Structure 1
Amino acid sequence: MFSSHKDLPVLGRAQGGDNGNLTIEENPIDWTFRPADLQGVQGAFAVFVTGDSMAPKYKDQDLAYIHPTTSPRKGRFVLIETAEHKGLIKQFVKWEGETLCLRQFNPDRLLYFKRSEIRQIMLVIGSLDA
């Protein structure tokens, strides 16, 4: 169930590939309906997915809903923002000490990031097909 009015900001686009470029805008680039899981969640937002590295789960132009404070769990999908302000949507695998391990679907491979390279990691709670 979604809210009855568009009150969830769309704050940018998240690149699907490993050379992601997430730009979280200060001002929304659009507004969308808030899903039930984000009702009352301060700081929640959505981003448009670009690229096909996570297809068929997330496809180009899908709208991904982001919960900014829920911790990721193995197998769930996350939006990470790197220290260089690049953004990626990937599947969370695990933390190995100070290293974050994520899975990409296309091509299927694991990606590794040092904790110091990560600015934020946020849970993707769902999406709306483009």
Structure 2
Amino acid sequence: MAENNLMQLRKSAGWSRPQLAERMGTSAQQIEKLEKGMRRLTLDWIERFAAAFEISPAAIISGESPPPNAKPVLLEGPSAERMHEDLPIYGTALGAPKMIDGEAVEQTHLNQGDVVGYAKRPVILNGRADAYALYVVGQSMAPKYDEGEIILAETKRPARIGDNVVVYLRARGDDDDGQRARAALVKRLVRKTAAYIELEQYTPPITFRISIDEITRIDRVMSLSDLLG
């Protein structure tokens, strides 16, 4: 987990946890958990802290302590206040598990024609028509991604080994036009060959293979460092 400066920034601003919580519309208990690393610092939380402190989101996880008596200052860089809320969130639902070698692998039903809302677009994605957002369904990628969390994916950059990915499984029978997907898998890419890809999920821990013939495309899930530039 990346280091954060939350406690140092709060103390430098002269705020108590309840005061910061009031500014952010949350509870002092949540602030404490985030400061101590007891709760994962998602992009949404980073944006909210950055807006409260009036600093760049990148400064939240820089790992650099502010000097004594320093006050938060407005820095150049991605700002939550400048983000457009126009990144499409596509509808997802938990599908029937895909049985692979006797193991049940969670699948996601995804309809890219069904935009259920719009997320804030990180500045680095301005003008990028290939980027989109999804709600995570199921628990197979926890604790990396919790159910209900928003992830951002892109089609432009090819996925590399070690990336988290959205793998689209092609439709069957008469519905198979080579492009239409029947379901998607949100997993970690472990290996890729001409015949198959190997994927990993965390809960329960399973590594499995999917034939290339079953796949229409593989989109890369963007990391926090990607989004902060």
CA RMSD, aligned part only? 2.0
**1:13 alignment counterpart:** 92
Aligned-partner Cα distance in 2 for 1:107–1:82: 21
CA distance in 1, matches of 2:134, 2:120: 13
TM-score calculated relative to the size of structure 1: 0.86
Percent identical residues: 27
Matched-pair contact (CA < 8 Å) for 2:165–2:221: yes
Q: What are the superposed Cα offsets for residues 5-51 of structure 1, whole Å, 9 maximum, x if unpaired?
A: 21100012265962412312314111111123422221211000011
Q: State which structure, 1 or 2, has the greater radius of gyration over its C-alpha atoms.
A: 2
Structure 2 gap segments, 5+ residues each? 1-77, 98-104, 172-181, 225-229
The 8 Å contact of residues 15 and 87 in structure 1, kept in 2 or not, is answered as: no
Take 2:194 and 2:112, find their aligned partners in 1: how far apart are those partners? 31
Shift of 1:110: 0.9
Runs of 4+ aligned structure 1 residues displaced above 6 Å come to: none
Higher percent of residues as helix:
2
Gap change, CA 1:38 and 1:47, over 3 Å in 2: same
SS in 2 for 1:25: strand
In the alignment, which of 34, 40, 45 is matched to residue 121 of structure 2? 34
| Alignment map for 1:85-96 (pairs within 5 Å) | 85-96=182-193
- Mapped to 2, the partners of 1:119 and 1:126 lie a distance apart of 23
Equivalent residue letter for 2:163: R
Does the 8 Å CA contact 2:161/2:192 hold for their aligned counterparts? no
SS at match of 1:26: strand
Higher fraction of strand = 1
